[in-house]
Amino acid sequence: MSQGDEKRDNNDRGNTDRLSTAPGGAATPNWHAIEAPECLAQLASGSDGLSAAEAASRLAADGPNRLPEAPRRGPLVRFALQFHNLLIYVLLASALVSLLLGHLLDSLVILIVVVLNAIIGFLQEGKAERALDAIRAMIDPKATVLREGARRTVAADEVVCGDIVLLEAGDRVPADLRLLRSRNLRIDEAILTGESVPVEKTTAPVAEVAPLAERTAMAYSGTLVTGGQASGVVVAAGAATELGRISRLLGTVEEMKTPLIEQMDRFARQITLVVLGISAAAFVFAVLLRSYDMEEAFMAMVGLAVAAIPEGLPAVMTITLAVGVQRMAERNAIIRRLPAVETLGSVSVICSDKTGTLTRNEMTVQAVVTAEASYEVGGAGYIPAGAFTRAGIEVDPAQQAPLVDLIRAAVLCNDAETRQTEMQPADAAWLVDGDPMEGALVVLGAKAGLDVPALRKAIPRTDEIPFDAAHRFMATLHHDHEGNAFIVVKGAPERLLAMAHAARTRDGDRPIDREIWSARADDLAAQGQRVLAFAVKPAGAGQQSLTFADVEDGLVLLGLVGFIDPPRGEAVAAVAECQSAGIRVVMITGDHAITAREIGQQLGLARAPVVRTGDEIDRLDDADMARAVRDTTVFARTTPEHKLRLVSALQAQGLTVAMTGDGVNDAPALKRADVGVAMGCKGTEASKQAAEMVLADDNFASIVTAVKEGRTVYDNLRKVIGWTLPTNGGQAITILGAVAMGWTLPITPVQILWVNMVSAVALGMTLAFEPAEPGSMSRPPRRRDEPLISGEIAWQILLVTMLFAIFAFGMFFWAEQRGLPIEEARTIVVNTIVVLEIFYLFNVRYVHGSSLTWQGVLGTRAVLIGVGATVIAQLAFTYVPAFNAAFETRPMSLLDGAVILGAGVLLLIVIEAEKLLRRAVANARTGG
């Protein structure tokens, strides 16, 4: 995949260059002032759009429909910025003073460390940026175009001039369009004009001099369709669009920053200042009261500063986050806003749509009910083969007049098309362009032997009222070539029953018995089927447009259709995982309450799920609503407005809410939720832009995986902190203790720098790659306001800091007692600290369980590499003469090595015992 991406990148670059150097469109006609047919003619297109071959050749000639990328900071600037950091300033100043004091070697070592630090930071940043880029490329916008008269969904960057683009609510306009047809089209053009109130669009030309905001015959690239439907011909693509001209560049570079990282950045800066203060005070103390000479005291203070400042911390935290984001992307959860990575770990309720997220969204018609008969329909998926049976006996659908009427209506009041992929005919898959439910109706038509394209040509559509979740039906007006006109309506049964006065039977239309029909609909719903009703109404031959008043009454009901859309297998497992992780799952659906309850039960949301409908919610005041959200698992027949109210009610209970959405009207609820989750496949662009996270596979299970990764990232951040701070603290206390007592320093400043660089890079970094701890999804979610450094971690930091200092001093004194030279004693201390760090790393890896398990001892690949590299570095530090000269170290004896290892084991035993004790006490407390 990476190779493919690279290739695409290269292509893009080539084309972008060409586009941006193309003439700025001086000779471009004023499309907004020209009649639509003329625009089509000028663009050598027609009402059926371009042919596939023509589109391909235009794409090859003009390049993909993309804006040039925002310029990035060059590598040199990025490298230079690595030095812009308080700690680096402190180190550089120390190097300078050391040089002035004649410590050439020390200042050289400090400089090398500074440059090394910058190189590592630079590489890490590059890695993080590449991770984000790859993730961004996963959210490819799509566009619907007409090619040779057929609807096709294509990648937005494949749209070319002359293409006819179909727009509907929630779409992002993929290129500049001259509108050919518009039905209540409203577009939010804020990105271009700054005006956030949507603009009504029509097809009539406007004055040539009209400013951009008044060109109502145009739809501009990058703007959002907030309502209605339209089609338009592409007049400009890529850099030639208005958006390209104002060079509002897309894909701005996002920094790897989240509230936690910022908090740590601030924390690191504060520590730096405090440490500088303490160092200055200790310097005065050392010179005045402990009669250190100035030079020695200064070097000790440099050591203190270097020891105490957690210089590697922000970088390691950033990497931890980048690793988390990448892991989530591998599991189909694409993070659009980084802070969501942290919030995900504390999610306590997931509100999920049903269709397509919890279910497969592979609809198949299973039942058709007319006034006099119920039919079962065979077959699976979208393959157009399956028999109609009635009470188990096969029937010829063509002989069943009311059934044929219903199915004809179902394919006419329908925007979907099905087609076969161009694979081997044997295993060719059938695909739907459009809504899967409508696709299933086209398949139903084919099963009944109808030639759907021919029928649609013979009885063309003159006008329509598009489906909207708010009114729950769709209507179309048709005229046949004999001048007969009629209206077809399909929608939620209770809606159509209210609008119908008669039902079709074999012997003509009869008055409707709503109770019987409603019981029939409930019967289908109780089997978990999604039910649609169909109706017709005659229209005047001259009627050319359709309004709500036309369909309010007088409909003749043709019958009901029941679809199955089975729950996703993995969603059932994910729901169970949520339950053990203390996360509630709430299903929100536009579907009927009875269908929703049945599916909820199949998913295991609850044994007997409490269902509430949108109408019931409307009748609740805020206090009742607060009570209702506590026990309701399924919300049915809801609209997006209900979702917004629901999120607010759940948040008012102190819960952290993840909410899914796909429609244009879901955007407010997605924005309001703590983690808004949009659907990558069926979601509108509007919902994706409002969301924090996009699911590449629309799958509920991916949300749960992301939550698990979110918990892991948070745990790892805590581990990084819990490991780094005491290792720094231990060294700082060692120096401070020595100064306070007037002892020789057990470790020199450059040695401390060495320890910090080697260990932070090779050891601390491994924590970023830690997998989830066992049982991470059997704990309740973390409270959102829980501090990162809790009392428990603070205690652990203090304890380990003290243990480090005790071991360091102990080894130092023991070496001195044996009369070893100071260089060798210091070498022993440095090795002790590094070995303690290694053993402590194994302890920190398991916050919630014991580290003394086989899995714990064996570690991960990252840990083993890190430890291996550290051991090699320490051997060089101790035994290679060049290192001995640079760091003033000496080879040490095997006995010392063994004792140091023993110290490591002792440390591990002490802190594991402490962990065990702490857990036992906590358990006793909760048990009591």
Which residues are the active-site residues? 353
> Is 710 in contact with 342 (CB distance < 8 Å)?
yes
Rounded Cα distance, 289 and 282, in Å: 10
Nearer to ligand ATP, 355 or 400 (CB): 355
Nearer to ligand ATP, 180 or 593 (CB): 593
Angle among Cα 677, 681, 682 to the nearest 5 degrees reads 80
Residues forming a β-bridge with 675: 658
Nearer to ligand ATP, 314 or 590 (CB): 590
Up-side HSE of residue 39: CA atoms within 13 Å toward CB? 31
Residues belonging to the chain: 928
Nearer to ligand ATP, 589 or 716 (CB): 589
Nearer to ligand ATP, 473 or 877 (CB): 473
From the CB of 503, what's the least distance to ligand ATP, in Å? 18
Nearer to ligand ATP, 182 or 414 (CB): 414
Backbone angles phi, psi at 674, to 5 degrees: -65, -40
Tell me which long-range contacts 810-814 makes (C-beta under 8 A, separation of at least 24): 810/903, 811/899, 811/900, 811/903, 812/746
Task: Write the CB contacts of 492 (distance below 8 Å, at least 6 apart in sequence).
Answer: 472, 473, 531, 532, 533, 592, 637
User: One-letter amino acid identity for 266?
Assistant: R
Query: What six digits make up the tokens of 820?
Result: 């070893």
Rounded Cα distance, 628 and 185, in Å: 37
From the CB of 341, what's the least distance to ligand ATP, in Å? 26
From the CB of 524, what's the least distance to ligand ATP, in Å? 12
From the CB of 495, what's the least distance to ligand ATP, in Å? 8
From the CB of 638, what's the least distance to ligand ATP, in Å? 7
From the CB of 277, what's the least distance to ligand ATP, in Å? 58
From the CB of 529, what's the least distance to ligand ATP, in Å? 11
Nearer to ligand ATP, 497 or 834 (CB): 497
From the CB of 125, what's the least distance to ligand ATP, in Å? 40
The binding site for ligand ATP (CB under 6 A) comprises 353-355, 435, 437-438, 467, 469, 472-474, 490-492, 530, 532, 589-591
Q: Which residue's beta carbon is nearest to the bound ligand ATP?
A: 590
Handedness of CA 714, 715, 718, 720 (dihedral sign): negative
Query: What six digits make up the tokens of 831?
Result: 């090795």
Burial of 100 (0-12, 13-18, 19+ CB in 10 A): exposed
**Count of H-run helices and E-run strands, the chain:** 33, 28
Helix/strand/coil for 96: helix
Nearer to ligand ATP, 125 or 415 (CB): 415
Q: Which of 830, 823, 821, 663 is nearest to 735 (CA)?
A: 830
Tell me which long-range contacts 906-911 makes (C-beta under 8 A, separation of at least 24): 907/803, 907/807, 907/836, 907/839, 907/840, 908/839, 908/840, 908/842, 908/843, 908/851, 908/852, 910/803, 911/796, 911/799, 911/800, 911/803, 911/840, 911/843
Q: Which of 838, 848, 844 is nearest to 773 (CA)?
A: 848
Rounded Cα distance, 635 and 351, in Å: 10
- C-alpha distance from residue 921 to each of 341, 774, 916, 918, 924 (Å): 32, 21, 9, 5, 5
From the CB of 317, what's the least distance to ligand ATP, in Å? 38
Q: Which of 29, 20, 94 is nearest to 62 (CA)?
A: 20
From the CB of 473, what's the least distance to ligand ATP, in Å? 5
Rounded Cα distance, 318 and 261, in Å: 7
Query: What six digits make up the tokens of 49?
Result: 């759009």
From the CB of 659, what's the least distance to ligand ATP, in Å? 12
From the CB of 657, what's the least distance to ligand ATP, in Å? 17
Nearer to ligand ATP, 355 or 656 (CB): 355
Residues forming a β-bridge with 475: 465, 489
From the CB of 683, what's the least distance to ligand ATP, in Å? 11
Rounded Cα distance, 237 and 152, in Å: 18
Nearer to ligand ATP, 151 or 290 (CB): 151
Nearer to ligand ATP, 336 or 530 (CB): 530
Nearer to ligand ATP, 66 or 530 (CB): 530
> Is 349 in contact with 677 (CB distance < 8 Å)?
no
Rounded Cα distance, 743 and 745, in Å: 6
DSSP assignment of 560-599, as one string? EEEEE-PBPHHHHHHHHHHHHTT-EEEEE-SS-HHHHHHH
Q: Which of 800, 808, 830, 810 is nearest to 907 (CA)?
A: 800
Residue in this structure with the two tokens 């440099």, named with its chain if needed = 302
Nearer to ligand ATP, 103 or 490 (CB): 490
User: One-letter amino acid identity for 365?
Assistant: V
Query: What six digits make up the tokens of 894?
Result: 């095997």
